[in-house]
Structure 1
């Protein structure tokens, strides 16, 4: 497939649908994934395409409490218990739909054609479940037609988003209510040490082994979600294939990496993909929180419109102004009886946000614009604390 031809129908801020991104993911040896690319042509030109992949998922990946304990107990005797083999339309390590349409086509008709071919592929592979992932409420539109073909619309874990409306990190902090602002300042001071640096790197392949180690720490600490396994190969591929459109925030103490955040620089959106942490240092340095703060700072400096901060750990993200963005997906089991059970079981085990909203900022958007003129009269955060950078 020609890269230029493939990318010709990929819209703005859809890096996960681009040729290079998909190539990087396919070659990254993630779990037991196998990848397929349905492409629809009309009179010799591409009018739609998608990425679909096979993956095995432990359905209790989201389960908690007594439910998780019971499933673990049964799985000691029956390893395949509650393991879902599915063909998913999406990408295993990012949020968002991978279906792309050329403008001006009949999307419902083309989606129906693509859906039938994906189902035929699933049957050839002896896979009983098909999913179309991940759609925000405002994106459902034509995809709700999938329900007429037997699909169940269910919720996925929610994404978190922040619209960037500040010209500097100081302005962002000064727009906050004092209790939220002072919490950030206090935690940032924990990283304000002579032997600690926070760097933004666009060339990071040389750290791939360290990134795998730090990411694995987070993987085994996770209580909300654990599915995809990443290796050094993944981090090298992201750097190699995406180049300047990817980067990391790297935290070091005495020149030793102790934390990182992986970033994708899309057209107007900064996407924070994964974090890695050395937990021996996290309590003293608040590494995770300082990585979150640095993501916001980078987005502002790069002139991005918004940030996608990803699923899980919603409370610390809400506390710095992020809003929860619900995601939907469509699931179908080819067995009619199981199609009534499996999607609902999956949904029941997918935790949703129950932490309530935060009022982080002092004013709404319009009032912030009015206050911007007065910003130079307020105390600069840089006068309170600074972090050594390289």
Structure 2
């Protein structure tokens, strides 16, 4: 008999049971436990599991939070919201329950090995039903599925529920490391990009690069760099803490490290990275607003990461979400993602369907999408 439960700590599920559904996923139990312990303001964590015969056969993370609908609005939508908020400050802020994690690359849906494809819709439906019930108990009106891989669209469609609206998610940029060295990589780029990148990399003469397994003594400065970077972003959802950076490094041990960038003795950039035997996953790149761009630090970090992939025998550099135009120019392809949302009140849900073109827009033309 299939049973479901929703818990507020991943430790209530346990490492073996959770990771048994995720086949050595980098953002598995240890990563999610570090996120849970990091004290991100405004989030309540949930983990939904389906069990058969006392064994976890499907699982997904989730969260509850107050969500401002203008987080991913089009420009026209933002103007409408700004006008409405002059009359009602809480307008367009709703209580959200979402499957996924604000700190993960995709929804994080997992199944135990051996689960047949034709059984997955049943298990997904059970997870979603349990999560929706928990959301209702917590007063969450808006329900969402965050960054479901577009390749799994058939699985989500198999739920047979027309009430969830589909909207473009944030695709993930990936660079295949199928060249023997940096010269082989440069040869893949256009002549103009190659010339521009070589010019930008002259900044390496003034920048010291260090690879570290911890940020002891630098936590305050790393958080300053993160906050500066976050303030420059149009997409501001979660707010990370110093405990997130140090906690992920400690929890994932040899699967996580930081690349630090100094000018003299001043730390001007920090890149948190995860890796397994095949992938280098770029979690967060933070830099000082003045000296970072002046030293072309984004491009310096990009080449540093490509070089690390080559040195460590990795096959793919996953550079994450946003900044797509530059990443495409530097040879990446995009792996698509979807968002699904609905409101528990039918009238509001119909209004959201009507307003969907204002509530989300395709973040990038899907040129090169996979």
Partner of 2:209: 198
CA contact (8 A) 2:21 2:112 kept: yes
Q: Quick check: 1:187 aligned with 2:203?
A: no
CA contact (8 A) 1:39 1:48 kept: yes
What SS does the aligned partner of 2:179 have?
Answer: coil
1:355 to partner: Cα distance = 6.0
CA distance, structure 2, for counterparts of residue 74 and residue 303 of structure 1:
53
Q: Which residue of 2 aligns with 1:139?
A: 152
Deviation of 1:282 after TM superposition, in Å, equals 2.6
Q: What does residue 114 of structure 1 align with?
A: 127
Residue 5 of structure 2 is matched in structure 1 by: none
Matched, 1:5 2:17: yes
The answer to which structure has the higher strand fraction is: 2
> Does structure 1 residue 58 correspond to structure 2 residue 68?
yes
* Aligned mate of 1:49, from 48, 51, 59: 59
Quickly say closer, same or farther: Cα 1:343–1:228, change in 2 above 3 A: farther
The equivalent of 2:7 in structure 1 is none
Cα distance in 2, alignment partners of residues 151 and 62 from structure 1 = 17
Aligned to 1:27: 37
Structure 2 distance, partners of 1:292, 1:7, is 30
Structure 1 residues 175-219: Cα deviation after superposition (integer angstroms, max 9, x where no partner): 3232111111100102322xx201222223432221111011111
Moved more, 228-237 or 345-354: 345-354
Separation (CA, whole Å) in 2 of partners of 1:356 and 1:26: 33
In structure 1, the gaps of 5 or more residues are 359-390
Deviation string 1:272-329 (CA, Å, 9 cap, x unpaired) is 1111111221342011222222222222222222122122221211121112222112
Which TM-score applies when normalising by structure 1?
0.84
Report the CA distance shift for 1:126/1:282 in structure 2 as closer, same or farther (over 3 A).
Answer: same
The answer on whether the counterparts of 1:153 and 1:329 sit within 8 Å (CA) in structure 2 is yes
Equivalent residue runs for 1:299-314 within 5 Å: 299-314=309-324
What's the counterpart of residue 216 of structure 1?
Answer: 227
Which residue matches 2:172? Answer: 159
Residue 387 (structure 1) aligns with: none
TM-score, length basis structure 2: 0.88
Alignment partner of 1:172 out of 181, 185, 189: 185
Q: Could you list the per-position Cα deviations for residues 244-282 of structure 1 after superposition, in whole angstroms to 9, with x for gaps in the alignment?
A: 111112110112110122111134221111111112213
Q: CA deviation at 1:120?
A: 0.6
Residues matched between the structures, number: 353
Name the counterpart of 1:127.
Answer: 140
Q: 1:312 to 1:149 in 2, by over 3 A?
A: same
Counterpart-to-counterpart distance in 2, 1:304 and 1:344: 45
1:38 is displaced (CA, Å) by 1.5
